[in-house]
Structure 1
Amino acid sequence: MAGNTRTPGTTVTQRIVALLGAFDEHHRRLPLTHLAERAGLAPPTAHRLAAELVAGGLLERRGDGTYAVGRRVWDLGLLAAVQTDLRAAAAPFLHDIYAATLATVHLAVREGTEVLYVERLSGRASVPIISTVGSRLPAHATGVGKVLLAHAPPAVVEEVVGAPLRRLTAYTVVQPGTLLHQLAAARRDGYATTVEEVSPGACSLAVPVRRGSAPDAPVVAALGVVVPSLKRDRPRLLASLRTAAAGISRSL
C-alpha cells in the first residue's frame, strides 16, 4: 500500500502516484473503495483523481465499475530505457533461442529483491508458467533471479537472506545457507538452475547478460529458459543461452 497521502501537504502529483501505485500483479482491478484505501486517499479525492486519469488514458474504468491501469501507461513504459535498449538488443537472440528449443524464454532485470520480466517468448509446446511481461517474482526462487542475485551488491543479498524466504512450491529453496551456496556456484559456473521452485513441472536455466563483452562488465540482465527437465538437454540449452547472452552483451 502507498504511504498515507491524507497527510497535510501532500501534493497532487504524490496522490496520482499513490493511485497508480495501488495496482500490482495481485491487484489488477480495483473498485473505488479499495483503490482509495490502497492509495491512502479519501474516497472523494480518489474518485475525482481517478476520473481525471481515466480521461487521460492512464486508468480505465471497466463495465463493472472497477478501475484498471490504462493503455497509456503501457505505451509510456515502453519508452523506459530498460525496455527500449535491452529489449531491442535482445529481440533477435530471444527469437533464435525459442525457434531452436520451443521452450519459454525469459529476459529479466532485478528490481530490489525481485525480478522484473521485461520479455517472454512461449508457445503451445512450452511449459505452463506464471510469469508474464511486466510481472515480478521473488529473485531467490527463479533461475534468472539467482543469476541476478549472484551479481547483486552485498547489501541486496543480505536483505534477501535476512528476511524469511517465500515458499512458492514444496521445492522452493528457503534455507539462507543453501541459497548462498547456489549464488556462489552461479558466480563460479556462470549460470543458475531451479527445479520446480516456482511452478510444478517447470525447471529453469539462466545466464547473465553483461553491458559489454569484457568478462568483468556489469551484469544488467539475465537470460533464461524454462523446460520440463534439465537432465538431458542442459549442455545444449546452456550453449544456446551463452551464445545469445554474448550477442546481447556485444549489442549493449
Structure 2
Amino acid sequence: MPEHRLDERSVLGRALLILEAFGVEDQAVGLSELTRRTALPKATVHRMCRDLVTARLLSSSPDGYRLGRGLFELGMRAATERTLLEVAVPFLQDLFTRTRETVHFGVRDGDEVVYISKIGGHRQARAPSRIGGRMPLYCTAIGKALLAHSGPETIDRILAGPLIRRTPRTVVAPGLLRTQLAQIAERGLAYEREESALGIVCVAAPVLSADDQPLAAISVTGPVTRFHPEAHAASVQAAATGVASILARRAQNTA
C-alpha cells in the first residue's frame, strides 16, 4: 500500500510535522528543539506553535511546548474506536479480573497494530505496548490475529517484507509466518512468544464482524517466567466472541 503524506509546504502539513515531532517520553520541547526536529524555519515553527496553542492542540509553558488536551478530546470523538471501546471495556475488565495479567485491545491501521486500550495491575508485564502506540502486525499476538483474518493481498504484501527481527525469537521467515497465519485463521487464536520483546508471552483472539472481517483483537500478556498463555486461551476467545456478538446486534438494530 503506497504511503501518502501531506505536503509539508502546506499549513496543514507543517502543523502535522510539528505535532508528530513530539515523542512518547517528551514532557516539554523547546522551540529550538522543535525547529531541529522538523527542519522548518524557526520563525515558521514559532508562528505555527502559537496557532496550535490557540487551537488547544499544543500547550505552552516556560519549559517549552506540550501536546494539548484538544488532541485527546478530538481522538475520543473517533466514532469507530469509541464504539469499540464502549462495547469492549466490560469484557476487558472481566478478563483482567480473571487473569490478573495485562489485557490489550487493538485495531489494525495499515501494517501496524494501534493499541486503544490497555489494562494492567501492579505486577503487569513490561510490554513495549502503550495506549495509542503502534507495533508491527507480524510480531505481536494481536497483530497476527488481525493479519490472519485480513485479505490475501495484505498478507502477501507484509510477508514480502521487510520483516525486521525485533528479538532473536521474532519470526521473519515468510514461509513459517504464513503457516502460523493459516493456523491462526483456522483456530481463532494467535500466540506470541518473546517475538516483540524478550521476557513476555501472549495469547490473542480476533473480534470479527458478521462477514468475518477483523474489527479488533484482544490479548492477555504476561512474563514468560509465570504466564502460560494456553491456560487463558478460552477466556480470551470468549471475550472476543462476546464483543463481536454485541457489535453484530448493534449493527442489525441500526441497519
TM range (shorter): 0.7 to 0.9
| CA shift in 2, pair 1:157/1:27, >3 Å | farther
Describe how 1:143-154 pairs up with structure 2 within 5 A.
143-154=141-152
Unmatched segments (≥5 aa) in structure 1: none
Q: TM-score, normalised by structure 2?
A: 0.85
| CA shift in 2, pair 1:137/1:248, >3 Å | same
SS at match of 2:107: strand
The structural deviation recorded for 1:106 is 0.5
The answer to whether the 8 Å contact 1:191/1:205 transfers is: yes
How many residues align? The count is 243
The structural deviation recorded for 1:13 is 3.0
Q: Distance in 2 between matches of 1:62 and 1:185?
A: 52
Unmatched segments (≥5 aa) in structure 2: 248-255
SS at match of 1:178: helix
The structural deviation recorded for 1:24 is 5.1
Q: Percent identity?
A: 36
Q: Distance in 2 between matches of 1:77 and 1:122?
A: 22
SS at match of 2:203: strand
Q: Distance in 1 between matches of 2:237 and 2:68?
A: 37
The aligned residue for residue 45 of structure 2 is 46
The structural deviation recorded for 1:76 is 1.0
Q: Distance in 2 between matches of 1:169 and 1:106?
A: 21
The structural deviation recorded for 1:175 is 1.7
**Corresponding letter in the other structure for 2:72:** W
- 1:157 aligns with one of 143, 152, 155: 155
**Corresponding letter in the other structure for 2:47:** R
- 1:244 aligns with one of 225, 239, 242: 239
- 1:71 aligns with one of 65, 69, 79: 69
| CA shift in 2, pair 1:32/1:93, >3 Å | same
Q: TM-score, normalised by structure 1?
A: 0.86
Q: Distance in 2 between matches of 1:165 and 1:116?
A: 18
Q: Distance in 2 between matches of 1:30 and 1:180?
A: 43
Describe how 1:214-229 pairs up with structure 2 within 5 A.
216-229=211-224
**Corresponding letter in the other structure for 1:74:** F
Structure 1 stretches of at least 4 aligned residues deviating more than 6 Å after TM superposition: none
Q: CA RMSD in A?
A: 2.4
The answer to whether the 8 Å contact 2:203/2:230 transfers is: no
Q: Deviations over 1:54-83 (max 9, x none)?
A: 232201235432x33211101110110232
| CA shift in 2, pair 1:157/1:23, >3 Å | farther
Describe how 1:1-252 pairs up with structure 2 within 5 A.
5-6=8-9, 10=10, 12-23=11-22, 25=24, 30-36=29-35, 38-39=37-38, 41-65=40-64, 67-212=65-210, 216-229=211-224, 233-252=228-247
